[in-house]
Amino acid sequence: MNSSDIAKIAGVSRSTVSRVINNYPNVPEETKAKVLKVIRAYDYVPHASARMLAGVKNRIIGLFIIDIVPRKEIIKNRITKSPYYLELTSSIIEYASERGYKILVDIIHNEEGYKQIKESFYNKTISGGIFIGENNNDPTIKKIINEGYKVALIDQDMRLDDDAYSKCMIVNADNFSGAYNATKYLIDLNHTNIAHITGDIEKFSAIERVNGYKKALQDSNISVKNEFIINSSFIEEEGYSATKKLLSQNNKPTAIFASNDKIAIGAIKAIKEAGLKVPEEISIIGFDDIEECKYLNPQLTTIKMDLAKMAEVVTDLIITSIEYDNKKSNNYYTVPVNLIERDSCIELRK
């Protein structure tokens, strides 16, 4: 069954069938109803838009994990090994399924992948898209938003002065408060030489964690030392390399706030290789509270992000936008974080 067959049965031209499927306004209602009746009768679905025109909403959401990095060796298996992405992805799929939606997952490693995202929106394969891992203020995603498509972003600056972000949904963890509280926790343990290993500094979460770290130091009248801030990325290997750099300095930190738990795990490995002990000689605190934290030696003190809650919120926002066709769907949500005390930090004697 193709469009020509539908045209013959309905007694119209093939171009008329095409206009009906693509929802052209210049088709008489009587003709449109006749074509749609044939489409339903023969279950003709050439395109997602045909089902929507037949009165059935497209219940497919795109979940786009953006992982564009210049170093090819880091790309391999980076997402599939990440507890952060795995929990978010699986939770979004689960919550969407409960609402009767399916999730189309795609991992984007290069600019060509962005073309596929655009095609998914343009040809109506999906009714909305959730983006994870995008750089802050990504121009390609802003273009998609400005063209009127339903978009929800995880980990993005809530820039109310930017028109694009007034037309999308944004869900963040409370990165600033988490980083502030992590640093303040170390300060309250009498640490003043506190280093910070950042995540990917193009990401909003990494930027906010640096800001929270600096603010906690400043509020306690502790100077921010540039040599104690090492730019890194959210993977174990980078945490390992950054810590070796810190330990090579004459002025060594007594504590490290790692921008995520994977960085912290790499840091612990480097510290132990240097013949030092955690927390007796260097305290470590992470961010995320991945499952592995409980089984480290010592168990990792960290800031817990509620990824399941973030997934629930972002899924609910995008589905509500799709079902109610919100024209101005600016919804912003910040999910609280909590300090989880374990064994990787120790109080310094004054």
| Superfamily of domain 175-305, CATH level 4 | Response regulator (3.40.50.2300)
Buried b (16+ CB within 10 A) or exposed e, 234-259: bbbebbbbbbbebbeeeeebbbbbbb
Pick the CATH number of 60-172+307-335 from 3.90.980.10, 3.40.50.10490, 3.30.360.10, 3.40.50.2300: 3.40.50.2300
Q: Closest Cα to residue 318, out of 92, 15, 98?
A: 92
Tell me, yes or no, if the two domains 60-172+307-335 and 175-305 fold the same way. yes
Query: CA 307 to CA 287: how far, in whole Å?
Result: 12
Architecture of domain 3-53: Orthogonal Bundle (1.10)
Q: Closest Cα to residue 315, out of 158, 84, 99, 57?
A: 99
The tens place of each residue's pLDDT in the chain, 350 residues long, gives 677 888 889 999 888 887 787 667 678 889 989 988 888 888 776 655 555 554 455 789 999 999 876 654 445 566 767 899 999 999 999 999 999 999 999 998 877 888 888 888 887 889 999 999 999 999 989 999 998 899 999 999 987 778 888 889 999 999 999 999 999 999 999 999 999 999 999 999 999 999 999 999 999 999 999 999 999 999 999 999 999 999 999 999 999 999 999 999 999 999 999 999 999 999 999 999 999 999 999 999 999 999 999 999 999 999 999 888 765 556 899 999 999 999 999 999 87
DSSP-based three-state secondary structure for 237: helix
pTM: 0.82
Per-domain residue ranges of the chain: 3-53, 60-172+307-335, 175-305
Q: What is the DSSP string of 159-187?
A: -TTSGGGGSSEEEEE-HHHHHHHHHHHHH
Phi and psi at 285, nearest 5°, equal -130, 140
Amino acid symbol at 204: F
Q: Give the angle subtended at the CA of 224 by the CAs of 217 and 200, to the nearest 5°.
A: 95
